Structure 1
Amino acid sequence: MSYSRFEAMQLLGARLSDDALVILSLGGSVDEWYNAAPHMREASLFQQQLGCVTGEAFGLAVGLPHRRIVSLDTDGGLLFNLGILATLGNEQPQNLFVVVWDNEQYQSIGGPATHTAKGNVDLAAIARGAGVRNAYTATTLEEFDGHCEVGLASDVPYIVVAKTDGILQPGIKRKHSDGREDKYIFVRHVEELEGITIMGPSEHN
């Protein structure tokens, strides 16, 4: 069974407060998240490369242990760096919630199948084997929303693999900023939340 990633994002977004921080991957999920959770735009770091998303979210969770951190990874992205699951299993960050959008394809390059497509590779089971005890697969929107409710309140790392379809949400607004601009928007937002300076003003010759 599979369901709409956009609808799942809307459910997740409705559960997130403005003081959470989100890291997400490249591809179609960028524009979908931009529209599904508009209140989280400044709090989201967009367009991270495959294999980096959950690792970056883990680093943020360690650096800001008092804040809820959400990783919006993909099946293809997580498969690029399964070692991050062992890190989560050993380090047990208390504030990290990971969603893996598993549509069984590399959608951003035309849709070739990932390893999850044949049904033999179970990302949630791999995560549990690596020590992340709360790792589950959600095959319906209702299951997904239930895991969001529990996972966002958890004090141990929590992973939900969302078995979504490969249909991009039609008619949504494209995110107009590029990766460099996204970085500054996100960093300034974190600075404001935390009352700190991460990057000073640019120097001009």
Structure 2
Amino acid sequence: MNRYDCMQKLAARLTDELVILSLGGSVDEWYNAAPHKREASLFQQQLGCVTPQALGLAAGLPHRRIVSLDTDGGLLFNLGILATLGNEQPENLFVVVWDNECYQSIGGPPTHTAGGRVDLAAIARGAGVLEAHTARTLEEFDALCAKGLTATVPFIIVAKVTTQPQPGIKRKHSDGREDKYIFVRHIERLEGTTIMGPSEHN
């Protein structure tokens, strides 16, 4: 299953959701697959922090759907977040884990999901996230997205994707600092509030 095809399917279903996503090749792919979500997406650069940050946003904005686009490597780095989701049961958090069974951004060494023994969806269910599923076809993925985006419990899709990069992808031209401000200003407009006011001068 191709990750970019999955992204296009997911992007077509999104309206006013906020998105947190991981570092690596998925950043440029999402930037291209979901142009209408660029301002509504925070391009996170720290391994293991995507779903935890999405949970924080979901807690702060309980009326809005939050989408976490995590990776197998990122989730394995912080498996404790699954226990937190199991205990907290956020009603507005939808998590996709792009599981390509490797750390692609550093040359492709295998993650623990390579070889078929480690099942991230099963781990999530064991931690109390009962709506945790594995998708191996685009049709399965799209159907699970439809269900997950309307769920009232935390919902996780582990998407088993290939390592093949999408050809012809345009690079995202903003850096992490700029991304932060773009994302915050978008939330301010969306929610009609001020998060970061003007700087103070003494």
Task: Tell me if structure 2 keeps the 8 A contact 1:94–1:157.
Answer: yes
From 75, 80, 84, the equivalent of 2:77 is: 80
Match in the other structure for 1:11? 9
Query: Which sections of structure 1, spanning at least 5 residues, go unmatched?
Result: none
Once the two structures are superposed, what CA deviation does each residue of 1:156-197 show, in whole Å capped at 9, x if it has no partner? 000000000001111111000000000000000001111111
Match of 1:49 in 2: 46
- Once the two structures are superposed, residues 28-55 of structure 1 have per-residue CA deviations (whole angstroms, 9 ceiling, x without a partner) of 0000000000000000000331100000
Map of 1:110 onto structure 2? 107
Q: Deviations over 1:24-80 (max 9, x none)?
A: 000000000000000000000003311000000000000000000000000000000
Separation in 2, partners of 1:93, 1:115: 27
**CA distance in structure 2 between the aligned counterparts of 1:75 and 1:24, rounded to whole angstroms:** 12
Counterpart in 2 of 1:142? Answer: 139
Shift, 1:202, TM fit: 3.2
- Distance in 2, Cα, partners of 1:104 & 1:65: 32
- Across the aligned residues of Structure 1 and Structure 2, the Cα RMSD in angstroms comes to 0.9
Give the match's secondary structure for 1:49: coil
Deviations 1:94-137 (A, max 9, x none): 00000000000001101000000011000000000000000000
Provide the identity percentage.
80
Matched residue count: 202
**Structure 2: which 5+ runs fail to align?**
none
For residue 174 of structure 2, the aligned residue among 170, 174, 177 is 177
The residue number in structure 2 matching 1:198 is 195
Whole-angstrom CA distance in 1 between matches of 2:41 and 2:200: 26
Q: Does the aligned pair in 2 maintain the 1:24–1:45 contact within 8 Å? A: yes
Kindly provide the amino acid, as one letter, of the partner of residue 23 in structure 1: I
**8 Å contact 1:27–1:47 — kept in the other structure?**
no
Distance in 2, Cα, partners of 1:43 & 1:72: 13
TM-score normalised by L of structure 1? 0.97
Matched residues in 1 for 2:43 and 2:201: separation?
A: 27
Query: Which amino acid is 1:73 matched to?
Result: D
Cα distance in 1, alignment partners of residues 118 and 109 from structure 2: 16
Letter in 2 for 1:57: A
- Could you tell me how far apart the structure 2 residues matched to 1:119 and 1:26 are? 24
Instruction: Please state how far the C-alpha of 1:201 moved relative to its aligned partner.
Output: 1.8
Q: Say which SS state the counterpart of residue 182 (structure 2) adopts.
A: helix
Q: Does 1:126 align with 2:101?
A: no
* 1:64 counterpart residue number: 61
